[in-house]
Amino acid sequence: MSDPQIQHLNPQPEPPGSPVMSTAQTLTSIFFEPGETFKALRVRPRFLIAGILTLLVFMGYYTAFVGRVGSENIARAAILQRNPDATPEQIEQGMRIQTSPVIKVITYVSFPVIFGILFAAGAGLYLLGTTLMGKAITFKQALSVWVYSSYPPTVVYALVNVLALFLKPADDIDPMSLNTGVAHANLSILLDPKKQPVLATVLNSFDLIVFFGLFLAALGLKTMAKLSSGSAWAIVLTIWVVGLILRVVMATIFGQAY
């Protein structure tokens, strides 16, 4: 006879009649019918195409930002952020390094690696959180939740910020706003992130687009692992708070909003 506790922690097969969607359908329906999309992903977890699209959308925004603001302006601002007393010679040397073709290639090559690590780590955290709640989810299902809850907010964020990039005069765009965004759906717009990087980091986290992603993540975990809404939100918000603490620490150390 099998152990009931072990059965409880093993994912149960989905009953007949569960929704079936193609990959293309999940990529569009996640915006309009996230609940049905996650039901389909529970039957057939997918993440590769959505993950690649998330990466490409972010890289597209990054390229647009650099093209609009200028790589030299970004490099100069970054150098002065780290060392306000830098001499013209130090600034010139740092700019030559940061704007070199090798650094540009390394930057673009690093994006897939960073996103891959973030996706895998996020899925691991969801898997751990679900297990601690006494429910079961496979790593592939957890990865589907993380990727599909990241994809729509990234698309919305990129569209809004690319629009803001070309609506604002290039000279009015802060070269250091790549981390925090040109457009803001939060109260950080009311302060200067250079003077108050820690507070700006906190306010950036209380963002409408961020909460959109948290909602999708909680809904995904609830659907995938048959969690209660409270348990799903507890997992998602715990990870969000830990991330906020890490960003605040970085803002304190580096004097830059995140």
As given in the structure block, the two tokens for residue 53 are: 């699209």
Rounded CA-CA distance 2/159 in Å is 52
Q: Return d(Cα 189, Cα 76) in angstroms, integer.
A: 23
Decide if 74 contacts 175 (C-beta within 8 A): yes
For residue 3, the model assigns a pLDDT of: 44
What's the pLDDT score for residue 77?
A: 87
Cα dihedral 117, 119, 125, 131 sign = negative
- Please give the mean pLDDT across all residues of the chain: 89
Q: What is residue 2's predicted lDDT score, i.e. its pLDDT?
A: 38
> Could you write out the DSSP letters of every residue in 46-65?
--HHHHHHHHHHHHHHHHHH
pLDDT tens readout for residues 50-60: 999 999 999 99
Among the listed residues 53, 56, 58, 61, the one whose alpha carbon sits nearest the alpha carbon of residue 27: 53
Instruction: Compute the C-alpha angle 204/208/211, nearest 5°.
Output: 95
Q: Are 186 and 208 in contact (CB under 8 A)?
A: yes
Closest CA to 199 of 207, 209, 191: 191
Query: What per-residue confidence (pLDDT) applies to 105?
Result: 93
Mean pLDDT of 237-242: 96
Q: Rounded mean pLDDT of 188-203?
A: 86
Domain ranges of the chain: 20-254
Q: What share of the chain is helix, strand, coil (3-state, %, to 5)?
A: 75, 0, 25
Share of the chain above pLDDT 70, in %: 93
Give me the mean pLDDT over the 30-40 stretch. 96
Q: What percent of the chain has pLDDT over 90?
A: 64
Sole residue written with tokens 């965004």 = 181
pTM metric for this prediction: 0.88
User: What is the token pair recorded at 43?
Assistant: 């039957």
- Between CA 230 and CA 145 the distance in angstroms is 17
User: How large is the average pLDDT for residues 95-105?
Assistant: 89
User: What is the pLDDT at residue 7?
Assistant: 41
pLDDT at 49 over 80: yes
248 exposure class (CB count in 10 Å sphere: 0-12, 13-18, 19+): middle
Q: Mind listing the pLDDT tens digit for each residue in 1-18? A: 334 444 445 555 555 556
Tokens linked to 23: 């990959």
Q: What value does the mean pLDDT take over residues 142-159?
A: 97
Question: Please, which contacts does 170-176 make with residues 24 or more away whose CB atoms are closer than 8 Å?
Answer: 170/68, 170/69, 170/70, 173/68, 173/69, 174/77, 175/69, 175/70, 175/73, 175/74, 175/76, 175/77, 175/78, 176/74, 176/77, 176/78, 176/81, 176/256
